[in-house]
Structure 1
Amino acid sequence: MLTISESAAEVIKLVLVGGDSPEGSGLRIAPAEQGLQASIADQPQDGDEVIEESGVRVFLESQVATLLGDKVLDAERDANGELALAVRD
């Protein structure tokens, strides 16, 4: 199962609060044309794996759940100094 680091949880909390998300919402990760796409979702879709850790909820589309099963969702600063989520082994 995907593990969520404390720093990633803090980033997710900021995104959810900034988006004025309703209680129970979370970050949904699904396949995209080039890799993965993360978006705010009010609730998981049918078949999503739900991970609740460090006070946040992450919804993983079923294929993504398999792909990220033994990984860690972390946060890092990008080249512009902005915080971004990253998947680590």
Structure 2
Amino acid sequence: MLTLTETAQTIITGIVDQSDVADTGGLRISAAEGDQLNVGVAPAPTDGDQVLEAQGARVFLDDAATTALDDKVLDAAPDDAGRVTFTIAQQG
């Protein structure tokens, strides 16, 4: 199962809290073409999504993302302009 670093938890919670869907929403990760993943704020999970909750951070994963990220760790870091970059690493 995908795990989140403490930094990712904090950043995801902040992103969702600043959105219009703070009470029910989360970060949704879904499969795109090739090995790409789409990441964005969603008001609620879509039918069939796996819901991951960690320290108040909620992540919704579609089936393909669940499979692709099963043994991964999601981290996040803001750059100098305040944009967030998410990185995925293998679980140790």
Q: What SS does structure 2 have at the residue aligned with 1:46?
A: coil
Aligned equivalents of 1:17, 1:46: Cα separation in 2: 23
Matching residue of 1:2: 2
Deviations 1:34-72 (A, max 9, x none): 500111111111111110112111000001101100100
Give the partner amino acid of 2:30. Answer: A
Matching residue of 2:44: 43
Q: State the number of aligned residues.
A: 89
Structure 2 residues not aligned, in runs of 5+ = none
Q: Does 1:65 align with 2:47?
A: no
Runs of 4+ in 1 over 6 A off after TM superposition: none
TM-score computed with the length of structure 2 as normaliser: 0.83
Q: What SS does structure 2 have at the residue aligned with 1:37?
A: strand
TM-score computed with the length of structure 1 as normaliser: 0.86
For the 8 Å contact 1:4–1:54, the answer to whether it is kept is no
RMSD, matched Cα = 1.9
Q: Map 1:1-89 to 2 at 5 A.
A: 1-33=1-33, 35-78=36-79, 82-89=83-90
